Chain A
C-alpha cells in the first residue's frame, strides 16, 4: 500500500535539463514544485572532482554516469516481422541517469533547428510537392520559428552558449551561419578558439563554395555570469565532455546554470533516488491525480499533484505514457493512435576520415562542441535534382583525443598487438575527419510500444523500439558523404577513407543519443500526442517534455531545441494554464 504524500502544485518526473527548466520557471511563477528523480544527486566539486573526472575507463568505458540496463532496459528490432530482444547493454545510444540527466554528459552542441524544420511538411510540399517524400510520415510541429525564437534565446543566455550569429533581425552576419533562422541578438559569448582541423575545414569548405562557421557550443569560451546570476568558468579544452561531467564549471548543465538558484527556493523540493512507476489518472481519464513512486528501500508513495510534467529522457516519457494509459497507443498496422508514433533517430553515416603525414593536430586539446560546421547540405538545401529530402550539417573539430577511444589507425592495421600499438602511436595527432549530423525522418514501420514479453524489476513491460533507417535517409547520407569526400580530397591527405550508410540499425556500436519522437507535438490530435504547448491532448494536466515531441529529427543535435520547447511550454503554463487550467488547444 503506497503511502499518501501531501499534495503539491506540480510534480516533475525526471530532473535533467527540461525538469530543471520547468522547475525554475514554475517556481518563479509561485507554484510549489516537487521534482522526483530516480538517480542520485550530483554536483560539480563533489561528483565531477577535477582530480578524477578525466578517468576515461570509469566514465566513458564503464559509463558511470549513465542509465544501466539493470535499472531500465529497452528491447529492439528492425521491423514488424522480427521478435524484439532486450539490449543487454546500452550501446547505440546512452541515456543519462541522475540529477542533470544527459545534460551532465553531453558534448555541448547547442543548435537551433532551422526555421523550415518546424513547418517541414508544409515547406517540402510547397517546394517540391508531397510526392517528393512519399512513404515518409513527415509532419509540421504546430509551432513556428517566430513563436519560439525567444525561447532559444532564453536558453542560450542561461547556458552561456558560445558562437557567432549568422542572421540577426534578418541581416546576414559575416562569419556566422547564413542559413539559420533570424535571431533577435548575438550569442552571449564569442566562439571557442578554433583548432587546426577546424581551420583546415573552414578553408577547404569555403573554397568548395560552402559557408562554414564556428559551431555553437555550451562549452563556454570565457568566464560568464548567466541570466540567472550564476557564474561559469572558461573552457580549458580538456576534451572530457561527452560521457563526463565538467569539473571546471565550463559546460552548461543544470548544475552549472540553474540549480544554484533553484535549489535554494522554499517552493522547490527535489527527491532523488525515487523512481516514478506510473502516473495515476482520475476515473474519467481526463486529468492526472498523482504519481506513484518507489524509493531505494522499495517503499511506495503516492504523490498527488495538480500538474504533472514528464521530464525524463524522451524514450522514458513515451514508456511512462504507455504504462499510465495516457493517450492512444500508435498501431502501425492501422496507422492510428499517437503514442509511439514517428520515432526517429539521427543519421550521420558517410563522412571522410583523413590521415596526414605533413599535418599535426593536437586532439588532446578539445571540447565537446569544438568544431566548425557548414549547413549548405542541411535539410533546407535544394533537393530538386536529388532523390531524397533532408540533409546533414557537416563539420570538423576536436572533441577529444582520449587515450582509450581516441586511437585511430590506418585501414588494415591489426586490432591488437605491437603492430597496432605502433600504428596508434604513429597515427595519433595526424588524423582529421569531416563528419555529419543528419536528419532522420519518420516512416510508418518505425515506432515505440510496450514489449509483449519482457518486463523490468517492477514487472512493468519494457519499451520496444522498432526501427530501421528509411531508404530516403540512406540515400541522403551517402550523397552528403560524397560531398565530404570531395572536400577532403582538396586537403591532399595521405590516406582518405569514407563509410557508406546501410540499412539495418544496430543497437550495439555507439551512434548517437538523439532519439526523437514517440510523443510528438502537432496541431491535430489524430496525429500528435501533445498539442503545440506539449500538453497531452487527452489528459490536460500532463505536459510531456523532451525530444519525444519532435515530429521528425533535424540535421543537428537536439538539446537546444529540447530546451527551447521546455521554455515554450513553461511560458504557456505560467501565462495561460495557471489562470485557466484545462486544454490550451481545443481538440
Chain B
C-alpha cells in the first residue's frame, strides 16, 4: 500500500510536469489499478514474466519453443530495465500489436494475438496496475532463437499472414455468460497459446483448443470432447479444477499448475463459470488418439504387472485413485490425449500438483526414470492408456526421446 501511495504521488507530480502525460491528464484512480490487477490475473502475466522464486514480473524463466528459448522480459516499472519509461500508448502497442517501443517486434510467445481482443480500457487499466507494482532492476535475458527465427523483422510477414487484430465479435445467439467466457478464453486468458495446435510457423491452426505440445508438456484437449476434453466434466467440476487445480477427474501440474496458481485460482467465480460454460461448447475434437492394444498383447500384460508393482499402491488397481491425494487414471483426460507426452513426462520426471488456497496438499508424483527402462515405461504407459480408454500404445522410442529431452544439459 505504501508503494501504491508513493506511486500515486509520483504520477501526480509527473502529470503536473508534463504537458501530455501518459494518463491523458488524469492521475490513475484506485479503481483503475484494481481493475488492472484483475486484467493481469486474467492474462496470467505473472506466469511467464516471473521466475520460480523470483521477484514478481521481473522476467521469467526460459520458455522452450520449437524455435528456441524465449525469456519473458522484466515488465516492472523500473525505468532502466523494465517498462517504467513506457507511455500507455507504447504499452498498448506492445500488448495488443506485438510491437515494443522503438519498433522491435515481439514473438507471439507474448500472446498479443490474444491480447489484441482486449478492450483499450482493459489495457489502460492493466497499464495503470503494471506501473504500480514494485520496480525491480533486472536486465531481461535475451531470447535464444535459431536462425532465421532470430530475425525479429520477419514477424512483419508473420503478422501479415496470421495476425487478426480487433475485438472478438459478440455472438448474440449465445448467452451473456457464454460470451464472457469466450472473451476471456480467446482474449486475455490466451488459452489457445498452449492448447491450440500450431502451424510450422507457430500460428494457431483452425483446430482450436484440441491440444498441443509445448515446452516438454502436452497441453491437453480442452474442447467438449467427452473423453479427452472437458465434455465429461460438469461446469462445477471444471470450475473446481480452475479454482483449486484439483477435481475428481484430474490434478493440474506443470505449466497448467502455474496458470492456475497465478491466474485462474484468483479469478472471480462468475468468470470461472463463464469459462467453463464456454469451453463445454467448444466443438469437440475428432482426431483419434489411436486404438488400444488387445488386453492379451504381451506389452499390455507386461504393463499390467509393472503397473501393479509401481503404480497401484497410490492410483489403485482399478485406476480410480483417492480423493484429493492421488488422481484417478481411469477417466483422466491426461491419459487419453492424442500425445502421451505429459503422461510419460510425469512418470519419468515426477511432478507436483498446483498450489492453491483451496487445495494446499500439493501431492507429488515421484520420478520413475531411474527405475524403469524405456521398454518398461512404454509398456506401463500403453497399459494405462489402453486399459482406461485412453488410446494407442506408446513406443519405447518415444520414451527414449522424451528421456533425452528431459536431461538438464539439453535445456
Q: In whole angstroms, what is the CA distance A232 to B350 when docked?
A: 19
Given known pairs A223-B325, A233-B322, A238-B313, the reply for A51 and B360 (CB within 8 Å) is: no
User: Which of B45-53, B120-128, B140-148, B361-369 contacts its partner?
Assistant: B361-369
Against A, the Cβ 8 Å flags (1 = close, 0 = not) of B73-110 are: 00000000000000000000000000000000000000
Q: In whole angstroms, what is the CA distance A232 to B314 when docked?
A: 11
In the bound complex, residues from chain B placing their C-beta under 8 Å from that of A229 are 359-361
Q: Contact between B361 and A231 (Cβ–Cβ < 8 Å)?
A: yes
Closest to A225 in B: B324
Closest to B371 in A: A51
- The reply to whether the CB of A230 lies closer than 8 angstroms to some CB of chain B is yes
Q: In whole angstroms, what is the CA distance A228 to B324 when docked?
A: 14
Main secondary structure of the interface of B (DSSP, over half): loop
- The reply to whether the CB of B258 lies closer than 8 angstroms to some CB of chain A is no
Cβ < 8 Å to B, chain A residues 191-227: 223, 225
Against A, the Cβ 8 Å flags (1 = close, 0 = not) of B326-369 are: 10000000000000000000000010100100011111111110
- The reply to whether the CB of A236 lies closer than 8 angstroms to some CB of chain B is yes
Given known pairs A223-B325, A231-B325, A248-B314, the reply for A260 and B360 (CB within 8 Å) is: yes
Q: In whole angstroms, what is the CA distance A49 to B361 when docked?
A: 17
In the bound complex, residues from chain B placing their C-beta under 8 Å from that of A236 are 313
- The reply to whether the CB of A261 lies closer than 8 angstroms to some CB of chain B is yes
Q: Contact between A51 and B364 (Cβ–Cβ < 8 Å)?
A: no
Nearest CB in chain B: distance from A226 CB, A: 9
In the bound complex, residues from chain A placing their C-beta under 8 Å from that of B175 are none
Q: In whole angstroms, what is the CA distance A468 to B126 when docked?
A: 73
Q: Contact between B322 and A45 (Cβ–Cβ < 8 Å)?
A: no
Given known pairs A50-B314, A236-B313, the reply for A249 and B363 (CB within 8 Å) is: yes
Q: Contact between A260 and B361 (Cβ–Cβ < 8 Å)?
A: yes
In the bound complex, residues from chain B placing their C-beta under 8 Å from that of A50 are 310, 313-314, 366
In the bound complex, residues from chain A placing their C-beta under 8 Å from that of B352 are 45
- The reply to whether the CB of A46 lies closer than 8 angstroms to some CB of chain B is yes
- The reply to whether the CB of A156 lies closer than 8 angstroms to some CB of chain B is no
Nearest CB in chain B: distance from A397 CB, A: 21
Q: In whole angstroms, what is the CA distance A234 to B326 when docked?
A: 10
Q: Contact between B364 and A233 (Cβ–Cβ < 8 Å)?
A: no
In the bound complex, residues from chain A placing their C-beta under 8 Å from that of B326 are 233
- The reply to whether the CB of A52 lies closer than 8 angstroms to some CB of chain B is yes
- The reply to whether the CB of A324 lies closer than 8 angstroms to some CB of chain B is no
In the bound complex, residues from chain B placing their C-beta under 8 Å from that of A46 are 350, 364, 366
Q: Contact between B366 and A232 (Cβ–Cβ < 8 Å)?
A: no
Closest to A222 in B: B322
- The reply to whether the CB of B160 lies closer than 8 angstroms to some CB of chain A is no
In the bound complex, residues from chain A placing their C-beta under 8 Å from that of B360 are 228-230, 260-261, 264
Closest to B310 in A: A51
In the bound complex, residues from chain B placing their C-beta under 8 Å from that of A51 are 310, 366, 368, 370-371
Q: In whole angstroms, what is the CA distance A261 to B355 when docked?
A: 10
Q: Contact between B325 and A249 (Cβ–Cβ < 8 Å)?
A: yes
Q: In whole angstroms, what is the CA distance A261 to B360 when docked?
A: 6
In the bound complex, residues from chain B placing their C-beta under 8 Å from that of A424 are none
Nearest CB in chain A: distance from B352 CB, A: 7
- Choose among A44, A232, A261 the residue that contacts B364 (Cβ–Cβ < 8 A): A44
- The reply to whether the CB of A380 lies closer than 8 angstroms to some CB of chain B is no
Q: In whole angstroms, what is the CA distance A46 to B362 when docked?
A: 13
- The reply to whether the CB of A43 lies closer than 8 angstroms to some CB of chain B is yes
- The reply to whether the CB of A74 lies closer than 8 angstroms to some CB of chain B is no
Nearest CB in chain A: distance from B349 CB, A: 11
Q: In whole angstroms, what is the CA distance A223 to B360 when docked?
A: 15
Nearest CB in chain A: distance from B248 CB, A: 12
In the bound complex, residues from chain A placing their C-beta under 8 Å from that of B270 are none
- Choose among A228, A230, A231, A247 the residue that contacts B366 (Cβ–Cβ < 8 A): A247
In the bound complex, residues from chain A placing their C-beta under 8 Å from that of B364 are 43-46
- The reply to whether the CB of B150 lies closer than 8 angstroms to some CB of chain A is no
Nearest CB in chain A: distance from B244 CB, A: 10
In the bound complex, residues from chain B placing their C-beta under 8 Å from that of A247 are 313, 366
20 sample A-B contacts, Cβ–Cβ < 8 Å, listed by A number: A43-B364, A45-B350, A45-B352, A49-B367, A50-B366, A51-B310, A51-B368, A51-B371, A223-B322, A223-B324, A228-B360, A230-B360, A230-B361, A231-B359, A233-B314, A233-B326, A247-B366, A249-B325, A260-B360, A260-B362
- Beyond the given A45-B350, A50-B366, A229-B360, please list 8 additional residue pairs across the A-B interface where CB-CB is below 8 A: A45-B363, A45-B366, A45-B367, A50-B313, A223-B323, A229-B361, A247-B313, A247-B366
Q: A: which residues have CB within 8 A of B?
A: 43-46, 49-52, 223, 225, 228-234, 236, 238, 247-249, 260-261, 264
**In the A-B complex, the 6 residue pairs with the closest CB atoms:** A45-B364, A231-B324, A49-B366, A45-B366, A231-B325, A223-B322
